Amino acid sequence: MFFLYFKRKDSLPVHQIDPQAIIRQLMPCSLPDKSGFLAEDGSSLLVQCIHWNTDQSRLEQTPLYHAPSQTAAASWARLDNRDELRRKLAIDPAEMAHYSDTELILYSYLKWREACVNHLIGDFVSQNLLRPRPHGGSAVLLFRI
């Protein structure tokens, strides 16, 4: 699960929002296995909470930030075509075990932009991938800061 906040002109500055309070609201019945947040220039806040559901989910950075492209990604997804993506993205097979699904989604986005959805197969992966509002309560969110 994740929460995204963009500061509008007259709204509360990001530094006055408690990410831990958001985490408690996102996961009221059980603590997440991992959580984290990314705040940028007092104008945006991305909070992510996850429960581990695959071996790769234990590798997740919550949220993931790719500094060279200034892109942040948060997902609750399971990719079923990891090996195919490894080949398409030219990732060394020996390194593949160190990549989370969100990292593969992010690198797919950086390579194919919005067309990346045509290369992703798995649970919670859909044509709505890049929508900031999740349809049905689960989605992947990629945005540029």
CATH number of the domain encompassing residue 43 = 3.60.20.10
- Phi then psi dihedrals of residue 27, to 5 deg: -125, 65
Total domains, the chain: 1
- Pair of tokens at residue 32: 């997440």
134 — pLDDT class (breaks 50, 70, 90):
very low
Average pLDDT, the chain: 77
Q: What are phi and psi of 111, to 5 degrees?
A: -85, -45
Give residue-wise pLDDT tens across range 2-50.
566 655 666 666 667 777 887 778 777 888 888 888 777 667 777 788 7
Task: Write out the H or E segment, with its range, that includes residue 66.
Answer: strand 64-66
Q: What is the dihedral of CA 130, 83, 123, 52, to 10 degrees?
A: -100
Q: Report the SS3 class of residue 15.
A: helix
**Residues facing 44 on adjacent strands:** 6, 40
CA-derived radius of gyration, the chain:
15
CA distance 82 to 12: 40
Q: Which of 43, 48, 38 is nearest to 11 (CA)?
A: 43
Rounded to whole angstroms, how far apart are CA atoms 84 and 114? Answer: 18
Q: Can you give the pLDDT at residue 94? A: 94
Print the domain residue range for 38. Answer: 2-144
pTM greater than 0.75 (yes/no): no
Whether 132 shows a pLDDT value over 60: the answer reads: no
State mean pLDDT over 93-102: 92
Evaluate whether 45 touches 17 at the Cβ level (below 8 Å). Answer: yes
